[in-house]
C-alpha cells in the first residue's frame, strides 16, 4: 500500500512542477522573480506557525473522532499517525490519508472499516468550515447578495442532508439513476452510513468549530503572505479568497487541488486588482507554506513511523 501511495505522490510532485512552470511563464518569469525577491521573509515564520496551528487543531479533531468511535491508542502514536498522513495530501481526493487507517490496523489491530469513516468526516467538516468562512468573507467584501445566498444555501443544505438520513438516502437513489453517477452512489452511500456517528449532533458541531479555527489560522497566514508582498487586503477579504479557492480545489478531487486551487487563488487576486506577478507570487508562497510544508513534515514523520514501528508492521504483514 505504501509503495502505491508513494508512486502517486511522486506523480503529483511532477504535475506540480509542470504547473509551476506554466504559472511562471504566464506571469512573466522575470517579473515573478522580482516580485518574490521583494517578499518580506520575516513574516514567513509566523505563516508557518499558523500552518502548524492548523495541523494541531485538526489533530485535536482527529483525537476527538477516535474517542467518539471508542478507539484508544497512545497519544504519541496517534500524533505520529496523523502527521504522517500529511505526506499524502497531494494524492487524488486526499484518499492517501487512509494511511491513518492502515497504521491503526497494523499497529493496533483496529479494522479499517471502523476508522476509515473518520477520513470521510474530516473532509466533510473541512468543506463545511471553509464554506462558512467563504460566506463571511463574501459578505464583508460586498459580493452580490445572490452569490452569498447561494453559499448560505449550500452550507445549510449540507448540514441538513448530513443530519437527515431519509433525505440523504432519497437523493442517493435519484443519483443512482444518472448513468455517469450510478457507479459512485454505492460508494457514497457506504461512506455516509459508516460516518453517521461523526456527522450528527454534538460531534458534528464540535468538529465544524474546530475546522473553523484550523482553517481560519491559514487564512490569517495568507493575509501575512500578502502583506509580505506589499499587498493590503482586509482579513475577511483574504479569508474569502483563500477559503473559496481551497473549496474549489477540494471539490475538483485533483491531488491537493493542484492547478485548480492555484488558478483560483491567482484569479481571485487578479479580480481584486492585484498585479499578475504579485498574484502568482502570493499563490506560490502560500501553497509552499501550507500544502508543501505539510507534505515535507508528513514525509519526515512517515519515515520515522516506518522505522519506529518496523518490527510491529513486519509482524502484522507477515501474519496476514
Q: Residue 237: phi, psi to the nearest 5? A: -70, -45
184 has pLDDT over 60: no
Using alpha carbons only, give the angle 59, 62, 63 rounded to the nearest 5 degrees: 90
> Distances from the Cα of 221 to the Cαs of 264, 281, 290, in angstroms?
17, 15, 9
Considering 161-165, 173-177, 188-192, 227-231, the range whose residues carry the highest mean pLDDT is 227-231
Q: Which residue has the higher pLDDT, 140 or 229?
A: 229
Query: Could you give the CA distance from residue 143 to residue 166 in angstroms, rounded to a whole number?
Result: 35
pLDDT in tens, 99-157: 888 888 888 888 877 887 888 889 888 988 998 898 888 877 766 556 666 766 776 77
* Polymer length in residues for the chain: 320
Q: What is the mean pLDDT of residues 177-193?
A: 62
pLDDT at residue 110, rounded to an integer = 86
45 has pLDDT over 90: yes
Query: Could you give the CA distance from residue 191 to residue 9 in angstroms, rounded to a whole number?
Result: 24
- What percent of the chain is modeled with pLDDT above 70? 76
Written as nine digits, the cell of 249 is: 480545489
Query: Could you give the CA distance from residue 175 to residue 191 in angstroms, rounded to a whole number?
Result: 15
Query: Could you give the CA distance from residue 223 to residue 234 in angstroms, rounded to a whole number?
Result: 8
Q: What is the mean pLDDT of residues 287-297?
A: 94
pLDDT at residue 210, rounded to an integer = 97
Amino acid at each position: 500500500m505504501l509503495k502505491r501511495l508513494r508512486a502517486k505522490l511522486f506523480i503529483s510532485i511532477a504535475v506540480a512542477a509542470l504547473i509551476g512552470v506554466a504559472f511562471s511563464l504566464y506571469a512573466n518569469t522575470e517579473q515573478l522573480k522580482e516580485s518574490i525577491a521583494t517578499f518580506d521573509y520575516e513574516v514567513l515564520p509566523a505563516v508557518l506557525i499558523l500552518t502548524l496551528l492548523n495541523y494541531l487543531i485538526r489533530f485535536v479533531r482527529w483525537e476527538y473522532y477516535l474517542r467518539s468511535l471508542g478507539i484508544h491508542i497512545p497519544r504519541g502514536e496517534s500524533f505520529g499517525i496523523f502527521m504522517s498522513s500529511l505526506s499524502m495530501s497531494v494524492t487524488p481526493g486526499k484518499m492517501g490519508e487512509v494511511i491513518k487507517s492502515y497504521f491503526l490496523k497494523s499497529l493496533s489491530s483496529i479494522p479499517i472499516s471502523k476508522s476509515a469513516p473518520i477520513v470521510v468526516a474530516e473532509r466533510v467538516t473541512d468543506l463545511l468550515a471553509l464554506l462558512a468562512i467563504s460566506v463571511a468573507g463574501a459578505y464583508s467584501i460586498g459580493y452580490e447578495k445572490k452569490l452569498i445566498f447561494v453559499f448560505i444555501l449550500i452550507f445549510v443544505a449540507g448540514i441538513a442532508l448530513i443530519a437527515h438520513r431519509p433525505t440523504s438516502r432519497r437523493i442517493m437513489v435519484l443519483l443512482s439513476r444518472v448513468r455517469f453517477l450510478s457507479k459512485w452512489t454505492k460508494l457514497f452511500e457506504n461512506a455516509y452510513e459508516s460516518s453517521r456517528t461523526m456527522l450528527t449532533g454534538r460531534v458534528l458541531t464540535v468538529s465544524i468549530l474546530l475546522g473553523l479555527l484550523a482553517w481560519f489560522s491559514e487564512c490569517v497566514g495568507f493575509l501575512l503572505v500578502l502583506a509580505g508582498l506589499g499587498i493590503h487586503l482586509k482579513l475577511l477579504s483574504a479569508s474569502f479568497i483563500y477559503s473559496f479557492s481551497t473549496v474549489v480545489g477540494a471539490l475538483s478531487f485533483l491531488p491537493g487541488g493542484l492547478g485548480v486551487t492555484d488558478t483560483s487563488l491567482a484569479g481571485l487576486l487578479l479580480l481584486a486588482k492585484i498585479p499578475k506577478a504579485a498574484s502568482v507570487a502570493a499563490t506560490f508562497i502560500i501553497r509552499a507554506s501550507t500544502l508543501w510544508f505539510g507534505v515535507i513534515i508528513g514525509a519526515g514523520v512517515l519515515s520515522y513511523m516506518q522505522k519506529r514501528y518496523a518490527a510491529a508492521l513486519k509482524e502484522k504483514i507477515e501474519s496476514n
